[in-house]
Amino acid sequence: MRFLGFFLNNVKIIQIQTPRISEALKIFETINERGVGLNPMDLLKNLLFRSIQTREFNALKRVWKDMTRTLEKEDLKPLRFLRYFIMANYRVKNSKGEPLIREDEIYEWFTNDDNARQCGYQQNAMEFAKLLQTNAEAYANFFAGKNADGERNIALENIKLLSGAASFQLILLIAARTMERSLFEHFTKQIEVLLFYFIITRTQSKEYERIFATWAEEIRSIKNKDDLNAFLQTRVEPVVDKARKNFDHDFGQIALGPIQKYRIHYVLAKLTSFVDQQVLGNNEEQPLDAYYRKGIQIEHILPDTPKEELKQQFGAEIYDDYKIKLGNLTFLERPMNIVASNGFFPAKCEKYKQCAFHLTKSIAETMQVGTNTSADRMYAQLKKFDQWDRNSIEQRQTMLKMLGDQIWKVSVME
């Protein structure tokens, strides 16, 4: 009762009535400026509802609900989507003259008169909401490793395997979403190459977000093969060439630990798939599913948990540095991995010979099937090892880098 008395004597309830809903929405926006915790997504919704006729409210509510459900279904952050949507679809320039926008700048950006005209939401809020929904569907599909229409895209699957939760590439993909399918799929293959170099060379994420945002307007104008090739040659190739200057050193440093396990798995999968397909004479890139199936494990040729005798024989002071190098890693099926796990190299070689993957098999045996066949040309690039020491690991890492040069390269569309 004391609380009720305090409440009645000290709390004032004010009811505000407006003749039109649009005026109520304006009050809603003003209240937010005084401290109610609403984010730019709420405020954008408010802007749209203020810009339409009352008879369109229910239709707009349905479109907005579909858009938010699309993002929620994939557990995607709405404000990140809004940032990328803006940078991918419109001209953006922040206070530093960069084509970037922060989450806390989104609402102010939309309310700017020039930007409102760009977006057109004041003239046709329903069309703008439908554009948001279309972009949200494409965004969710791209994040899941699919084309905008939900169809399979091998390069986008690979990008997801490589990038994990990183999502800056979505700026480029949204900007490119209206490309004709063959153009888009070639474009995504080159973006996979670009991301590989960014990640291996430890390029800071804020740097490639800036690059991607800068490219977005040009990507939106790509209509045909010539446009795409010009973009690849003038924009993507120079960035990759710059990254490749230190690539020999950077690739030599690839190791499990400094680089996350899921990224090491991607690198091994690409290398192993390339060798297997070349042996088969197949130049078309295949999905990496076979290298992610249950039971495929990353094998440490120099054991991860060695017997003390082996560790001393190799060199205890350098053992831990070399056991994690990419040159010491390969794929092996789980039953054989268990048997081979801590053994000496000659014993392990017997298991490697039984492996289905040619890159692993080649560690233990020299292979030849004919004269100047695609398989022979591939086998000539692989090296058999009779012992496993520091030099062997370094030689194999160099060999893998030479294979990588053939895999991760920018190519124009034929």
Q: What is the pLDDT of residues 71-108, one digit of tens each?
A: 999 999 999 999 999 999 999 999 889 999 999 899 89
Q: Which amino acid is at 90?
A: Y
Asked which of 143, 167, 193 is the last residue of a domain, the reply is: 143
- My answer on whether 242 and 336 are in the same domain is no
Residue 5, pLDDT score? 73
- My answer on whether 111 and 192 are in the same domain is no
Average pLDDT over residues 330-355: 83
- My answer on whether 244 and 290 are in the same domain is no
Residue 338, pLDDT score? 66
Residue 125, pLDDT score? 95
- My answer on whether 361 and 289 are in the same domain is yes
Q: What's the chain's length in residues? A: 414
For residue 11, is it within any domain?
no
Place of tokens 């809020």: 125
Asked which of 118, 143, 168 is the last residue of a domain, the reply is: 143
Asked which of 100, 127, 143 is the last residue of a domain, the reply is: 143
Average pLDDT over residues 215-234: 98
DSSP string, 7-45: HHHH--------SSHHHHHHHHHHHHHTT----HHHHHH
Residue 34, pLDDT score? 46
- My answer on whether 227 and 294 are in the same domain is no
Query: Where residue 23 falls among pLDDT bands split at 50, 70, 90?
Result: low
Residue 22, pLDDT score? 43
- My answer on whether 268 and 403 are in the same domain is yes
Separation of alpha carbons 112 and 121, rounded Å: 12
Look at the chain and report how many structural domains it folds into: 3
Residue 35, pLDDT score? 47
Average pLDDT over residues 13-26: 54
- The alpha carbon of 396 is separated from its chain's Cα centroid by a whole number of angstroms, namely 28
Model confidence over 355-404: pLDDT tens digits? 999 999 999 998 776 666 888 899 999 999 999 999 999 999 999 999 99
Q: Which of 133-142, 200-209, 282-291, 333-342 has the largest mean confidence?
A: 133-142
- My answer on whether 139 and 276 are in the same domain is no
230: pLDDT strictly greater than 90: yes
Residue 28, pLDDT score? 53
Query: Where residue 267 falls among pLDDT bands split at 50, 70, 90?
Result: very high
For residue 50, is it within any domain?
yes
Place of tokens 């984010």: 39
Query: Where residue 52 falls among pLDDT bands split at 50, 70, 90?
Result: confident
Residue 174, pLDDT score? 98
Q: 283-306 b/e with 16+ CB inside 10 Å = b?
A: eebeebeebeeeebbebbbbbeeb
Q: Please provide the average confidence, as pLDDT, over all residues in the chain.
A: 90
For residue 171, is it within any domain?
yes
Q: List Cβ neighbours of 75 (8 Å cut-off, separation of 6 or more).
A: none
For residue 48, is it within any domain?
yes
For residue 297, is it within any domain?
yes
Residue 12, pLDDT score? 64
CB count in 10 Å sphere of residue 219: 23
Maximum Cα interatomic distance, the chain, rounded to a whole number of Å: 98
CB-count burial class (<10 Å; 0-12, 13-18, 19+) for 329? buried
Residue 369, pLDDT score? 64
Minimum mean pLDDT among 58-67, 68-77, 213-222, 334-343: which range? 334-343
For residue 332, is it within any domain?
yes
**Tokens of residue 392, six digits:** 């062997």
Place of tokens 């190739």: 237
- My answer on whether 136 and 153 are in the same domain is no
- My answer on whether 153 and 111 are in the same domain is no
Query: Where residue 198 falls among pLDDT bands split at 50, 70, 90?
Result: very high
- My answer on whether 316 and 363 are in the same domain is yes
Calculate ∠ Cα 128-129-134, nearest 5°.
95
Query: Where residue 335 falls among pLDDT bands split at 50, 70, 90?
Result: confident
For residue 8, is it within any domain?
no
- My answer on whether 239 and 276 are in the same domain is no
Torsion, Cα 110 113 118 121, to 10 degrees, reads: 60
For residue 98, is it within any domain?
yes
Model confidence over 238-254: pLDDT tens digits? 999 998 888 888 899 99
Separation of alpha carbons 89 and 86, rounded Å: 5
Domain holding 91, by residue range, is: 19-143
- My answer on whether 219 and 119 are in the same domain is no
